Amino acid sequence: MEALDPLLAEHPFLKGLTPAHIRTVAGCARNERFEAGQFLFREGEEAHQFFIVRHGKVAVEVGAPPRGAVTIQTVADGEILGWSWLVPPYRWRFSAQAKELTRVIALDGRCLRQKCEEDHDLGYELLKSFADIVGQRLDATRLQLLDVYATEPAGRHR
């Protein structure tokens, strides 16, 4: 079994963490794999983990009736996936589907929430990192909405 501490210590997302914090995070981590077409999670389900994509591609999707699922972002090697585990009511706000064989480090959100309650410095560092992820998702969603609803060139009105 591969030790996750060195992989986590090298990841830019966790760059602000001390070696002790890396060990704590690694204690909440495990390797997982998803086949193409398999969902990592679905919008509305309970959210109790997040992922570091080691290899592969994952489509972040939002339901948009009557159009169906709309991909708002594709996450690939080295990127972080999932922040809904961090904010009550701990429900996924998006769905995530593997587009090819995808290997991830899955981090248990319940475990991490407990560790963050015990060590507020750890919680603060993780929250700073996740604030950036939330901002990226909002930007991606905004761009997708512009693409969906932009029907006329800017400045031209009928």
pTM of the model: 0.83
**Residue 51, strand partner residues:** 81, 106
pLDDT in tens, 55-104: 999 999 988 788 788 888 899 999 999 889 988 999 998 999 999 999 99
pLDDT in tens, 6-53: 999 999 999 879 999 999 999 999 999 999 999 999 999 999 999 999
Residue type, 80: I
Cβ pair 104, 54 in contact under 8 A: yes
**Up-side HSE of residue 39: CA atoms within 13 Å toward CB?**
11
Residue type, 16: G
Structural domains in the chain, sorted by start: 5-149 (2.60.120.10)
> Rounded CA gap, 118 and 28, in Å?
14
